[in-house]
Structure 1
Amino acid sequence: MNVLIITRNFYPYNNIGSFRINSFAKYFRKAGHSVTVVAEGERDEAITWNDCDIHYIKDPIMTPKYLHNLEQKNKKWTLRRVIRALESRIFFGGPCIWRAKTCKKVEELFQKNNFDVVLSSYGPLTPHALVMKVLKKRYKFFWVADMRDEMSKLPHYSKIHKKRLAFYERNILEKADLVLSVSKPLIDDFKTMCSHDRFLEVRNGYDYEECYEINFQPQFTMGYIGRFYWMATPDNFFKAFSELIEEGRLPENSKIKIVGNFKKLDVPDRISSNVIQCKNVPHEEAIKISITEVDTLLMMYQSGRKGVYSGKLFDYLARNKPILALYDPNDVVAPLLAETKAGFIVDDADKEGIKNMIMKCYQIWKNKEILPRDWDKIKQYSRRNQVQILLDYLSNNLATSG
C-alpha cells in the first residue's frame, strides 16, 4: 500500500496525539508499506523518519513549540494567541494559513503519487477537512478518519462551538471509508451521527519493551507523569494523602512526584514538602522515571467523558508498578485494569475510597509485593499490536474491494 497521513500532531512533539500517529506511520512502514506524512512543524522542510517521508508545514501564526513555551510560562494571552482565537472563530476549519499551505502540499503529493490509503488524524477538525477538500478533486483512495476521542461532544466546548463542529463531524463520519476510535462507547456514540457501520476500535498503547523487573524506593513514592487536562485536578487526592499522614497511617516521608505538569496546583501546606513537581521531560525519560523512581503510578481524569482513556494508562500498563486510577468506576478503565490485573480504580469524589486505595498501594510497597499482571493481555495494548488491527482490516477489505 501507498499511504498518506495528514496530521497536526507528529514527531518530535511530546504529546499523546503525536505518539498515536507516530505509531501508525512507523508500523505501517515496518509492515512494508510506503508512508508519507504531512504534519505541522517548526519550519517548512522534508525529512526521513523511520523510513517514512515527512513533510513539515509551518504555521506562521503559531508553531507547536511557541504554544508549548507559552503554556509552560502560563501565558494565556499574547498577540499571536489573540489572532489565533479570532481566526478559530471566523475560519472554523482550523488555522487558515496552515490549512492553505498544507492543502497545496497535499495536492502536489497527489500529482506525483497514487495513494491507496489516506489516514487523517484528530486535529480536531483540520486534517479531516483537508481530506474532504481532496475528495472534491476526484482523487480515488480509501479514507481512514482517526477520530480518536469525542469531537463535537467534548465537554469543555461551548454550545455554539459544539453545534458548528457537529455539522462537520457528521460529514466526516458519513464520507470516510473507515472511522477509528479508541473505545466501543465512543464508536457507539459516533454511529448515532451517521448511516453506516464502518468503524474500528484501535486503542492507544505503549511503545517500549515490557518491564518485568521491579524496584522499590527508599520511601513510598507515588508518581503522576504528564499534565492535568482541563477540569482534572488532584485536589481530593491531595486531601486524602494529607489526612493519611496526619492520622499516622502513612509515613511522614511519603512522596508524590509529579512530572511534566505546568498547571498551577493547590497543594495543602501540610504536604507541601511531600509533593515534588518536576518539569516536562521527553517521553523516553518519563518512561524511565516511572520505572525507576516511583512505586505507584497515578491516573486522574475528569468526570463526564465516557469511553475516553487517558493515554498514560497504556504507557503505565507495561511498567510493572501498581496503577491507581481516580476515574469513573463504571467507565472503560475499570474493565481494562481488571483484565490486565494492573491496578485499582476509585471514584475521584470518594475521599475515603481514595484513602483505602492509597493504603493498598502502600502495603504493596511495604511488603515488597508485585501485582500478578496478565502479560498476555497487556501485550495486546502495545502500539504495534493495535496498529496491526488496522493493517489486518485494510488487508482484508482493500483486497476484497480490489
Structure 2
Amino acid sequence: MILNKHKLYILSTYFPPTISVASNRILAFANYIDKSVFDVEVITVENENNAKESIELVSYKVKRFKNSGLFHIMKFTGKESFFIHKLKAAYNKVFTYFVRNEYQLWQNLAEKYLSEKFLQNKKSIVLSTYAPVSTHLAALNLKKKGNDFFWIADFRDNMIHPHFNKSQENYFDKIQKEIVNSAELILSVSEPILDYLAKYQTTKKSNFLEIRNGFDFDMENVKKNFNNIFTVSYVGSFYGERKPFNFFEALKLFLINNSEAKIQINFVGVGNQIQIPDFASKIISTSPKVTHNQALQAMQDSDALLLIHPNQNQKGVFSGKIFEYLGCLKPIIATVDKNDVAAKLIEDCRAGFVAEFDDINATADCFQKAYDLWLNHKSLDFNLDLIKQHHRKVQVKRLNEELKNLLKL
C-alpha cells in the first residue's frame, strides 16, 4: 500500500452516460487502474444530465465542465429519418472542415483546473485520449508552460483521416508530431497505429504500449442458445464507407441457394441510417440507438454476429464491437480487410468466418457456414484463453504494470 499516491487525471470528452466505445474505454481505465497506487479523477464534459460539481464515486472522482458555444457537431440518435440523417452528416462534414477544435472552451477550463491541481500534487499523471484533439492539446499546452507531470497520450485512432484536405492534414500532422515528442507514454488500440506514430519521433524517446479495447462482462454468464430462426445481429452504426450494401448482395445470393431458410437479421443502433432493399424487408429489422446493456443483450440473443468494416489505407482498425462479439462466444461473420488486425484476431481466436469487404461470393459463403453451424446445433472451437486476454481488466492491467515500471513504483 502506497501512502502518498500519484494523482492520475484522465482527460476525455467521452464518458458515461454518453454511449460509445470511447466512453467504455475510458470507464475501463477509471475502474481498473490500480487504486492502491493511483488516485483517479476523470475530467470530462458536462451535459444536461450531469451535475456540474465534482462527483465522488466508489473508486474515482469525476469533474465535468461545460463546453459552451453556439455550434457543435450534430449527434445521431438513430431515430431521425434517412433524409435528416443525411443532412446531419453533411452539416458535420462542413463543420469539421472549418472547425479544428470543437471543444476549445472546455479545453480552456480543463487546463485551468489542472494547473491549480498541479500546485497541490507534485506527483501527477495526465492521461489524455484522442478523439477529439482538445484533450491532447490541453496536456500539450500544460507541458509547454513548464508543468512537471507524466503524460500518457492515448490514440484510439489515427489523427489524420483519408478525407482530410491538405490544410487539415498539415494541422493534425504538426500536432501529432508534437504529442509524440512530448508525452512520456503513447498508447493505442493496435500495433499498426503505434508503428505509424513511432515514425514521428525526432527529439524524445517516448514509450509505446498497445492497450486494446475489450469486453467488460463475465464470459461464464454468456448463454449458449440456438434460436428457432437463424438470428444474426449487427450492433453499432454505419458511417462513411462503412455500409452494408455488399452484405445485402451476399444475402441475396445466400437466399437464392437457401430459399427455405428461416433467418432474421437485426441492425441494432442503426435506426434510419440505411435503406433496406425490398427483397429483404421481411427478414431485416432496424432499431435506433440503445443502451450498452441492451446492445450486449442483443448480441447474446443472436446465433451469429455481423462485422462490417471497409478496407482503408490506414491499418490497425479493429472496430470496438469486435471484442464484445468475441466475449459473447457467437460465430462472427466478418466482411473486412483480410490483411488487417480484425481479420487476424478472428482467425487467431477461431471465432468466425472472414471475407474481404468487397467479395460478395466469399461473404455469402461465410454466411452459409454460420447458418450451417446453427442448423446442426454446433459451436465453434473458440480459443478461450486468447479471448479472455481481451477482457478490459486484463488490458488495463498491462497499463498498470507499465506505469509502475516507468515510474519505478
Q: TM-score, normalised by structure 1?
A: 0.91
Out of 378, 381, 385, the residue aligned to residue 376 of structure 1 is 385
Structure 1 unmatched runs, 5+: none
Equivalent residue for 1:139?
A: 147
Out of 192, 200, 208, the residue aligned to residue 193 of structure 1 is 200
For the pair 1:163 / 2:189, whether they are aligned, the reply is no
- Alpha-carbon spacing, 1:108–1:116, altered in 2? closer, same or farther (3 Å): closer
Query: Residues 358-369 of structure 1: matches in 2 within 5 Å?
Result: 358-369=367-378
Instruction: Read off the aligned partner of 2:64 and give its amino acid letter.
Output: Y
- Compare 192-201 and 345-354 and name the one that shifted more: 192-201
1:6, 1:127 within 8 Å by CA — same for their partners in 2?
yes
Q: CA deviation at 1:135?
A: 1.4
Out of 391, 394, 399, the residue aligned to residue 385 of structure 1 is 394
Q: CA deviation at 1:205?
A: 0.5
1:120, 1:145 within 8 Å by CA — same for their partners in 2?
yes
Equivalent residue for 2:3?
A: none
- Compare 360-369 and 99-108 and name the one that shifted more: 99-108
Equivalent residue for 1:36?
A: 41
- Compare 332-341 and 319-328 and name the one that shifted more: 332-341
- Alpha-carbon spacing, 1:332–1:115, altered in 2? closer, same or farther (3 Å): same
What is the aligned-residue RMSD (CA, Å)?
A: 2.4
- Compare 61-70 and 195-204 and name the one that shifted more: 61-70
SS in 1 for 2:370: helix
2:118, 2:124 within 8 Å by CA — same for their partners in 1?
no
2:41, 2:61 within 8 Å by CA — same for their partners in 1?
yes
What CA distance in whole angstroms lies between the structure 1 residues aligned with 2:310 and 2:215? 22
- Alpha-carbon spacing, 1:366–1:91, altered in 2? closer, same or farther (3 Å): closer
- Sequence identity percentage: 31
Q: CA deviation at 1:6?
A: 0.8
Query: Residues 82-231 of structure 1: matches in 2 within 5 Å?
Result: 92-152=100-160, 154-195=161-202, 196=205, 198-210=207-219, 211-231=221-241
Q: TM-score, normalised by structure 2?
A: 0.89
Q: CA deviation at 1:33?
A: 2.2
Instruction: Read off the aligned partner of 1:261 and give its amino acid letter.
Output: V
Equivalent residue for 1:45?
A: 53
- Alpha-carbon spacing, 1:250–1:65, altered in 2? closer, same or farther (3 Å): farther
For these two proteins, the number of residue pairs brought into alignment is 393
Instruction: Read off the aligned partner of 1:186 and give its amino acid letter.
Output: I
Q: CA deviation at 1:45?
A: 3.0
For the pair 1:241 / 2:248, whether they are aligned, the reply is no
What CA distance in whole angstroms lies between the structure 2 residues aligned with 1:389 and 1:252? 45
Q: CA deviation at 1:341?
A: 1.2
1:370-396 per-position Cα deviation (integer Å, ceiling 9, x unaligned): 111111111111101101111101111
What CA distance in whole angstroms lies between the structure 1 residues aligned with 2:11 and 2:381? 40
What CA distance in whole angstroms lies between the structure 2 residues aligned with 1:334 and 1:66? 32
- Alpha-carbon spacing, 1:315–1:309, altered in 2? closer, same or farther (3 Å): same
1:151, 1:165 within 8 Å by CA — same for their partners in 2?
yes
Equivalent residue for 1:255?
A: 264
SS in 1 for 2:233: strand
What CA distance in whole angstroms lies between the structure 1 residues aligned with 2:196 and 2:359? 28
Q: CA deviation at 1:13?
A: 0.8
For the pair 1:26 / 2:36, whether they are aligned, the reply is no
Instruction: Read off the aligned partner of 1:219 and give its amino acid letter.
Output: I
For the pair 1:300 / 2:308, whether they are aligned, the reply is yes
Q: CA deviation at 1:212?
A: 4.9
What CA distance in whole angstroms lies between the structure 2 residues aligned with 1:36 and 1:246? 56
Instruction: Read off the aligned partner of 1:163 and give its amino acid letter.
Output: N
2:131, 2:156 within 8 Å by CA — same for their partners in 1?
no
- Alpha-carbon spacing, 1:41–1:340, altered in 2? closer, same or farther (3 Å): same
1:80-99 per-position Cα deviation (integer Å, ceiling 9, x unaligned): x78x966x666634432222
